[in-house]
Structure 1
């Protein structure tokens, strides 16, 4: 029996759908599809139409979006992952300081430059290269909303 915990990291955003699309592409995760759940909640009157948005031809919760690891289990009705997830939620205030928590993405051996270039093509920005000698060598980057992450 697998006793591994499922978890989600919640990230405050200005545009949850755009950030979910970026991070799904960056990590090769899948954007969760909650269409069936939303349709059900709308039909029962448990969700107002104002709480729903359209994104790439699908219904989505306004101000929220999540991505999940493609190999982890998920609920087929709700679309919600039962493993490694990132949940993006829109908040009114802007990001003002350095992240206290960030994601590190590890490239395959010799593939860091290619990965950095791929992430830039998705909308990430290089901030600075860090070389700590034997302790490591990585790029500090920012996602499209300015959240820091590292690529080693």
Structure 2
């Protein structure tokens, strides 16, 4: 069973591990080694990561008390981070997180959700009812990565 919790500062290291390993093991299917290394570098500043997590306040999906995914919802409907542990893909973690995000957004009176979605995550977002607004190239540590601005009206 998937349990959803609010972020706590002690979750930061687990979330870094989910972020890093998902990008390195899953997103490598659609991006080059140089691109994933720029996106999830080996030498991240742990305090900077903790500050980022504190600022976005993600929801955390857990199975048997272990974090297996996380996602956030910003005030304007932006989903800034959305990651499922590379060993827990296709087990309902993403669906549970997205359902929770939609419920939270509706409670807040948010009229739409949107995100900057990787090539890899695009099919999941489409299954969740999002559509592509535009394709774009972003620069991350001198690497150019293709992604999609996707949205879903609520």
Fold equivalence (TM over 0.5): no
Q: What TM-score does the superposition give when structure 2 sets the normalisation length?
A: 0.29
Write 1 or 2 for the structure with the bigger share of helix.
2
Computing the radius of gyration from Cα coordinates, the structure with the larger value is 1
Q: What TM-score does the superposition give when structure 1 sets the normalisation length?
A: 0.29
